[in-house]
Structure 1
Amino acid sequence: MLLRFALFAALIATPAYAAPVRKAPPKPVVAKEVPPQPLHDTETVVMTTDLGTITLELDGKHAPISTANFMRYVDNKRFDGVVFYRAMHLKWGEQPNGLIQAGTRGDPRKTFPPIAHEPTNQTGVLHKAGAISLARLAPGTATGDFSILLSDIDGLDANPQSTDPEAQAGYAAFGHVVSGMDVVRKIWDQPVDPEAGEGFMKGQMLAQPVKVISVRRVVAP
């Protein structure tokens, strides 16, 4: 979401009547994918950031598609070096109220194909404080971006009774933070750039994104 690419072209001594010669951009170098590991009912991962460590438990039993997708990125180290780039501050309710967001942002070197949508009315994994949820555009477009909630945000859950297709689908929560909510809060508290971002995200982009150094699975003893 919200991809930013800077494209630079240099035209040197090109006649006015001639079309500039453009070289095809090099294909991104993508590391060979490691074989998938069996999915457990509960997967635990440790996310190390510039501001501290966040430990997450993912619900492979009830949200297997979303959890397997996240673990695919983990096992292939595709989250290493990404950043938390967004902090959404909701002005109402008990504070802190909102979420932080990170991920691959469509980088072709890191991003796997989209996955099927897992609505919360099917999984039972809800958007409560500490939940991790996949970011998406339309349902079925989620890839390598995710949010961690500072508060309960029931509006992100699926609402089959709604007449709005977006609200009907909701977002796919698939786990929660078991330690490191203080780090989540530190990221959320970082200054935002009031001019950065588009549409409803304007003013929600971190002025200095927080780097994710690594994300690793915790192997059960």
Structure 2
Amino acid sequence: MILQSLILSLSLAAAANPASTPAPVPAPSPITASAPPSSSPDAPDTRPYVELVTNAGTIVLRLEDKRAPVTAANFLRYVDSKRMNGFKFYRSTKSWGPYSALIQGGNRGDAKLNYPPIAHEPTNVTGLTACKGAMLMARGAPGQATSDFFLLLSDVPGFNADPAASGDNAGFAVFGELIAGADVVQKIYDAPTSPTAGLGVMVGQMLEPQFTITTARRIPAPADAPKGCVVKAP
């Protein structure tokens, strides 16, 4: 139910904000599982790290570019082109309670800043999971994700793909996780929201004021980066 409500709310957000409405895309291919890439525990960490400087503080993210290459490359394209500079964190789902907690960010301005929609990478294929701290792409239908993403403040297993479920069972594409700045994410989540802005289930979830990503850039891997939770144990 939470997954269906969130998908609906993302569709409503796109309708309310033409700047983030993706172009039509062909129907996605059926979900098929494949073995995730393997790596030695002693291998150097070559995954990309990104620093988001916001007016609430600094957030550091690690991208799983080997397991979710399409989604990670899309995010890095916005970072490297500087298009992410000026994007907003504009939504907090604290009205849904502590078990489906997230903040959402993305392009809330010029539609020309959006790159074309990307192919969906479901969690049953990537071997990633929607745990607390995970970063996922927001979408309407699978294959419609562009610039919007969210960070989880709780485990939300219902966001994982479930090919055995009926309806939209593709889940959301996990492609990285929060490495530093959990206090900043919490600050954004706890910030005031408008009682009237938004449509449908999003009413009461639109941050007022919004938080601006002033600078997004790649950084070297921190020496003390935690192992994290998005990569499922074998």
TM-score category, normalised to shorter length: 0.7 to 0.9
Bigger-Rg structure (1/2)? 1
Give the equivalent residue in structure 2 for 1:206. 207
- 1:191 equivalent in alignment to 2:196: no
Identity of aligned residues (%): 46
Task: Tell me the CA shift for residue 109 of structure 1.
Answer: 2.7
Q: How does 1:79-94 map to 2 (within 5 A)?
A: 79-89=84-94, 91-92=96-97
1:1-221 to structure 2, matched below 5 A, reads 1-2=13-14, 3-4=16-17, 42-89=47-94, 91-92=96-97, 95=98, 97-105=100-108, 107-164=110-167, 166=168, 168-219=169-220
The structure where helix makes up a greater share of residues is: 2
Give the whole-Å Cα distance in 2 for the aligned partners of 1:152 and 1:178: 16
Give the structure-2-normalised TM-score.
0.74
Preserved CA contact (<8 Å) 2:48 2:64: yes
* CA drift at 1:42: 1.0
How far off its partner does 1:219 sit?
Answer: 4.1
- CA RMSD in angstroms, aligned pairs only: 1.9
**How far apart, in 2, do the equivalents of 1:188 and 1:140 lie?**
27
Distance 1:65 1:4 in 2: 25
Q: Give the partner amino acid of 2:63.
A: L
Structure 1 unaligned regions, length at least 5: 6-39
Tell me the distance in 2 between the aligned counterparts of 1:187 and 1:143.
22
The Cα of 1:216 is off from its aligned counterpart by 0.3
Unpaired runs of 5+ in structure 2? 1-12, 19-44, 223-234
Secondary structure of residue in 1 paired with 2:113 = coil
Once residues 106 and 64 of structure 1 are traced to their aligned partners in structure 2, the CA distance between those partners, rounded to angstroms, is: 26
Change (3 A) 1:96 1:207: farther
Q: Would you identify which runs of 4 or more consecutive aligned residues in structure 1 move more than 3 Å?
A: 1-5
Q: Which amino acid aligns with 1:77?
A: K
Give the number of equivalent residue pairs: 183
Letter in 1 for 2:92: A
Instruction: Verify the 8 A CA contact 1:99 1:149 in the aligned structure 2.
Output: yes
Residue 96 of structure 1, CA deviation:
7.2
Structure 2 CA distance for partners of 1:157 and 1:106, relative to 1, 3 Å: farther
RCO comparison, higher one (Cα < 8 Å, 6+) = 2
User: What is the aligned partner in structure 2 of residue 33 from structure 1?
Assistant: none
- The structural deviation recorded for 1:176 is 0.4
Secondary structure at 1:109 match in 2: helix
Distance 1:152 1:140 in 2: 24
Distance 1:107 1:125, change over 3 A: farther
TM score, norm. by length of structure 1? 0.78
Letter in 1 for 2:206: M
Secondary structure of the 2:58 match is strand
Q: Secondary structure at the match of 2:140?
A: coil
CA separation of 1:126 and 1:41: change in aligned 2, threshold 3 A = farther
CA drift of 1:132 comes to 0.6
Higher strand share: 1
